[in-house]
């Protein structure tokens, strides 16, 4: 096993609260005592400046603060790579200021990663649930089941994917209790506990959420083909930013109006978009979508009288 993978596995075990002795790691990885000692002395112990990882002389094991991986946006493998780069920066052949500058650079990188991934593109601010997002992100990467409260109910779920839909942050989950895949609003998930239990789930189904338009996306439903007429007033917006990756232009008119086709899993996926752009957008098919939009308009007019 190469050093990156070995360090990564050690970090995961330490984060779970395991005490790791040198002899046990020698057996586990089939390597030598000197290599394990080097792994800790030159790579893992200097990784954090606040002694998150330390040697417990009473038990003769290496230990760490429980769940320290949930406090970083970096995965165990990424931290392993960073530990190696930090060690290389202290090499006798390196510039004497390289080590200090490398430390500053990595700290800035993680801070920027947090802001870039979760804040700049989001309409909904994550300040009040940033820690939860970090916990969930790491649980997704390590495929760990989580226990949490959602809508005042305790749940045990598989965290599958974090999505930003229409400016709001959602977690796509599978709940074994009722064998259903669901969409949870991230800000409503509380008291998260990452369990030492792994899950497996269809990556094809998880990947299908890349086509989701809204939180009404239902991966188990049959696909519905939708055709829309978009007049020249707003067509440029649909050309610049397609509603979904399944969108394609099927006809262009001389006045720049267009007809588009896309697939959805539930009528409510597309209805909010249609109503947002009315009267510049019209449903060509399916008929049931026309009926639902017409019903919404009639209800609105009735309530406005």
Residue 214, domain member (yes or no): no
Averaged pLDDT, 131-153: 89
Count of structural domains within the chain: 3
Quick: pLDDT tens for 37-74: 999 999 998 887 677 888 888 899 999 876 677 666 67
Give pTM, 2 decimals: 0.57
Range of the domain at 189: 127-201
Please report whether residue 210 resides in a domain: no
The mean pLDDT of 181-205, rounded to a whole number, is: 91
**Residue 73 covered by a domain:** yes
Same domain? For 94 and 154 the reply is no
Residue 177 shares a structural domain with residue 251:
no
CATH number (domain holding residue 264)? 3.30.70
11 shares its domain with 94: yes
pLDDT bucket at 97, cuts 50 / 70 / 90? low
In tens, the pLDDT along 229-251 reads: 999 999 999 998 898 889 999 99
98 plus 132 within the same structural domain: no
pLDDT at 264 over 90: yes
Dist. CA 34–CA 129, nearest whole Å: 43
- pLDDT band for 95, please (50, 70, 90 cuts): low
Looking at the fold, whether 16 and 80 belong to one and the same domain comes out as yes
213 within domain boundaries: no
The answer on 141 and 77 residing in a single domain is no
At 25, is the pLDDT very low, low, confident or very high (cuts 50, 70, 90)? very high
pLDDT of residue 120: 46
Supply the CATH number for residue 175's domain.
2.30.30.100
pLDDT of residue 51: 76
Same domain? 86 vs 172: no
Residues 287 and 228 reside in one and the same domain: yes
């Amino acid at each position: 096993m190469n050093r990156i993978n070995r360090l990564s596995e050690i970090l995961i075990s330490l984060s779970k609260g395991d005490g790791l002795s040198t002899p046990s790691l020698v057996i586990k990885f089939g390597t030598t005592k000197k290599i394990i000692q080097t792994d800790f002395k030159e790579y893992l112990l200097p990784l954090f400046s606040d002694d998150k990882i330390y040697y417990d002389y009473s038990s003769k094991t290496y230990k760490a603060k429980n769940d320290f991986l949930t406090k970083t946006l970096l995965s165990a493998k990424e931290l392993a790579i960073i530990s190696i780069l930090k060690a290389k920066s202290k090499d006798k052949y390196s510039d004497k200021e390289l080590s200090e500058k490398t430390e500053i650079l990595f700290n800035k990188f993680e801070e920027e990663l947090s802001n870039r991934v979760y804040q700049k593109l989001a309409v909904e601010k994550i300040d009040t649930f940033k820690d939860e997002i970090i916990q969930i992100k790491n649980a997704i990467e390590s495929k760990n089941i989580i226990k949490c409260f959602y809508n005042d109910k305790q749940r045990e779920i598989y965290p599958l994917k974090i999505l930003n839909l229409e400016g709001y942050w959602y977690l796509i989950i599978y709940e074994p209790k009722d064998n259903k895949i669901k969409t949870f609003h991230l800000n409503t998930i509380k008291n998260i506990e990452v369990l030492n239990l792994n899950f497996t789930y269809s990556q094809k189904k998880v990947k299908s959420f890349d086509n989701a338009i809204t939180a009404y996306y239902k991966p188990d439903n049959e696909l519905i083909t939708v055709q829309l007429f978009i007049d020249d007033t707003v067509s440029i917006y649909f050309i610049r930013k397609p509603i979904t990756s399944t969108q394609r232009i099927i006809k262009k008119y001389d006045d720049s109006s267009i007809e588009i086709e896309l697939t959805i899993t539930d009528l409510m996926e597309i209805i909010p978009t249609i109503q947002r752009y009315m009267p510049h957008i019209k449903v060509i098919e399916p008929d049931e979508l026309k009926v639902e939009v017409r019903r919404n308009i009639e209800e609105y007019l009735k309530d406005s009288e």
